[in-house]
Structure 1
Amino acid sequence: MGHNWSVVKQLYPPKSKFSVDQIPDLTGKVVIVTGGYVGIGYETVRVLLARGAKVYIASRNLEKAEKAITSLKSETGNEPLFIQLDLADLHSVKNAAEEYLRKENTLDILFNNAGVMMCPKSMLAAQGVDLQFGTNVLGHWYFTELLMPALIAAAETSSDHHARVITTSSSGAYSDTLHFDTFKDGPARKKVSPRQLYFQSKHGNVVIARQVAKRYAEKGIISISLNPGNISTDLQRHTMGDVSKKIGELLILYPTPYGALTQLYAGTMPEAVKHNGEFFIPWARPGKCRPEAYDDGIGEKLWTWCEDTVKELT
């Protein structure tokens, strides 16, 4: 009941005390937003550009990114940059990180924002990992690890001695835990639904974010995961028809700008550095995930699995 009640309460959060107008000037800050050409990612990029940040959109689809870049430049007067990144392919992840590191020495904020949701079970990541786990968890973990030198360099030179990794989870993080035998395709994975695989990946986001905080806090890295709220975005393309999405928008789905609030708070506001390793809930409030997310034994096991999988596949 406790987990379910937490999710229900987050469906109808109190009015936000945080507004994007409170974000400090970000001139001189360099930021990456994965999946930054659509939905919550697009809104996050838009606000960051408006506050003066230099923003890279790291995404899979060049055509969609180019449209978003044109639109964002027109809205903000500032032009985001593009890096090709397919989180479901570890070779692409490595190439994207290397491309960034050729261009920049530091990275102030990494928004691990991209994700896939409840896609057909037949869809796998390039190396045979479940597509949702491969994209949402493993791909982002690897990208973060490869970019860690730039994050640490930013922390060393920043006025507040911090750089941030902000990971977009969801209320789905409350709905399941980790089942290691379902991460790759096989008999155990075939028995569970796309919905369960999605919930597992979102729980994995919280577990990894805590581990990043634990492992890199001494180097000035702030790592926070969050539930952005129930937001109407393209993420529901595999789960909702047009009619059910319209009903959802009337009852529980909020407009996209709301979805960016919590991650923008975590990524930009000075007070957020006090919450390293924590989980934020709508809108821009510290919260708690389910207890398993705080188990260091599980966190270390998942981290080792990620390390071993990357070694095996690259």
Structure 2
Amino acid sequence: MFSVAQAFIDESYPPKSRFRVDDIPDLTGKVAIVTGSNTGVGKETAKALLNHNAKVYIAARNPDKAAEAIKDLKEQTGKEAIFLKLDLADLSSIKSSVEEFVSKEKELHILFNNAGVMHCPVPEVTAQGYDLQFGTNVLGHFYLTKLLIPILTATAKSTAEGKTRVINTSSLMSRLGNIDFNTLKDGPARRKKFSSTLYSQSKLGNVMLSNEIAKRYGEQGIISVACNPGNLDTDLWRHMPDLMQRVMRLMIHPLSQGALTQLWAGTTDDGLTMNGKYLAPWARIGNPNPLALDEVLCEDLWTWLEEQVESV
């Protein structure tokens, strides 16, 4: 098992990828949702999927920004993505999004839980009062996935390989994370934390959520994978302190690289063997924070997540 320092070096300066976007097979007939795909890694992911003939839903909260992205993607690929209104920081919005999706589609082959917020000001919370980073990155994606489980499992039964996929975007910072249940919803304990601590907690939560999905639904045909997309030049840096930005930019990579690992897991035959794995850049099997392998902690988190959405 890597030490934290070894992992930071290994994942910050990865070897050249042996997987290329051109290696993606033809995806004709496949339906995908990519959350947060109006910009950044999500948009790069959507672009690659469209170029390989998938039907792609751009799940985002801002209709104008989504429309701009869809227009841009059509100019680049000749294919038109579909807007799905989704605000992961509002549980009611998530429920409405899934209702809209299942009214239009009978199948879902790939769910990219890609969206995320990073280093937000600590006072910011979700519509239901959860820490904005955990509420968006983990609780929001948990609820979205939970509501889509029926269509994912049904689709798996109808595919030749008997599988569908849920790809969960984490971060290198998951290695510094811990789960403090007292800080997941707003309160005095949460307000004493640094934004960076809350972010790392949420990214660990992504890996733990992914592992629980793999354990609970693997036998029903769902492949669940967590991945670190790499240290990338995206607008997620905007809330970070200047000094931290300068340090991180010493190990930053082009945005186009960021989609490689999740596309490898989400589209290739190799991805069908990855249930419960953590992936490192670029397109490699990695080793997660050991807390993500703590089955009791993962089950406790799942129970907490279930409790938060039972009355939505």
* CA distance in structure 1 between the aligned counterparts of 2:273 and 2:76, rounded to whole angstroms: 33
Partner of 2:306: 307
Residue 128 of structure 1 corresponds to 129
1:234-269 Cα shifts (integer Å, max 9, x gaps) = 11111155x9858855x3111111000000001011
Query: Which residue type is aligned with residue 287 of structure 1?
Result: G
Alpha-carbon distance between aligned partners in 1 of 2:53 and 2:131, rounded to the nearest angstrom: 38
Please name the residue that 2:44 is paired with: 43
Aligned partners of 1:262, 1:190: CA distance in 2, in Å? 34
Kindly provide the CA deviation profile for residues 262-297 of structure 1, in whole angstroms up to 9, marking residues without a partner as x: 000010110122120110000000001111101111
Aligned partners of 1:308 and 1:247: how far apart in 2? 39
Q: Report how many aligned residue pairs link the two structures.
A: 311
Following the alignment from structure 1 to structure 2, what is the Cα–Cα distance between the partners of residues 64 and 228? 23
What amino acid is the match of 1:281?
A
Matches within 5 A, 1:250-265: 251-265=250-264
Residue aligned with 1:117, SS: coil
C-alpha distance in 2 between matches for 1:192 and 1:246: 22
Summarize deviations over 1:42-77 as a string: whole Å, max 9, x none. Answer: 000000000000000110111110110000001000
Contact 1:229 1:283 in 2 (8 A): yes
TM-score by length of 1: 0.96
Q: Note if 1:80 corresponds to 2:47.
A: no
2:259 and 2:298 mapped to 1: Cα distance?
A: 27
CA distance in 1, matches of 2:272, 2:172: 22
Structure 1: how far apart are the matches of 2:248 and 2:124?
A: 26
Asked if residue 33 in structure 1 is aligned to residue 59 in structure 2, the reply is: no
Q: Deviations over 1:113-137 (max 9, x none)?
A: 0000010011000001100000000
Letter in 2 for 1:295: D
- Contact 2:35/2:115 (8 A) holds in 1: yes
Query: What is the DSSP-based 3-state SS (H/G/I as helix, E as strand, rest coil) of the residue aligned with 2:252?
Result: coil
Q: Does 1:193 align with 2:199?
A: no
Gaps of at least 5 residues in structure 2 are none
Aligned to 2:288: 289
**8 A Cα contact 1:4 1:174, kept in partner:** no
1:210-225 pair list within 5 angstroms: 210-225=211-226
Aligned partners of 2:123 and 2:191 also within 8 Å: no
Q: Which amino acid aligns with 1:66?
A: A
1:56 aligned counterpart, secondary structure: strand
Give per-residue Cα distances to partners, 1:18-59, cap 9 Å, x unaligned: 001111000000000000010000000000000000000110
Tell me the distance in 2 between the aligned counterparts of 1:273 and 1:3: 28
- What amino acid sits opposite 1:50 in the alignment? N
Q: 1:246 to 1:179 in 2, by over 3 A?
A: closer
Q: Which amino acid aligns with 1:105?
A: K
Kindly indicate whether the alpha-carbon contact (under 8 Å) linking 2:171 and 2:227 is maintained by their aligned counterparts in 1. yes
SS at match of 2:166: strand
Whether 1:171 and 2:193 are equivalent positions in the alignment is no
**How far apart are the structure 2 equivalents of 1:59 and 1:121?**
23
Report the Cα distance in structure 2 between the residues aligned to 1:3 and 1:169, rounded to whole angstroms: 16
Moved over 2 A (4+): 243-249
- Displacement of 1:4: 2.4
| Counterpart amino acid of residue 127 in structure 1 | Q
Partner of 1:140: 141
> What amino acid maps onto 1:203 in structure 2?
L
Return 263-272 or 2-11, whichever deviates more: 2-11
User: Partners of 2:159 and 2:25 in 1: how far apart?
Assistant: 14
* Structure 1: gaps spanning 5 or more residues: none
Contact 1:34 1:112 in 2 (8 A): yes
Q: Following the alignment from structure 1 to structure 2, what is the Cα–Cα distance between the partners of residues 80 and 172?
A: 31
**Counterpart of 1:14?**
15
Q: CA deviation at 1:3?
A: 1.4
Task: Classify 1:288/1:248 alpha carbon distance in 2 versus 1 (closer, same or farther; 3 Å).
Answer: closer
Q: What fraction of aligned residue pairs are identical, expressed as a percent?
A: 51
Report the TM-score, using the length of structure 2 for normalisation.
Answer: 0.97
Could you tell which deviates more after superposition, 1-10 or 197-206?
A: 1-10
SS state at 2:310 partner = helix
Tell me how far apart the structure 2 counterparts of residues 64 and 70 of structure 1 sit (CA, whole Å).
10
Distance 1:297 1:244 in 2: 34
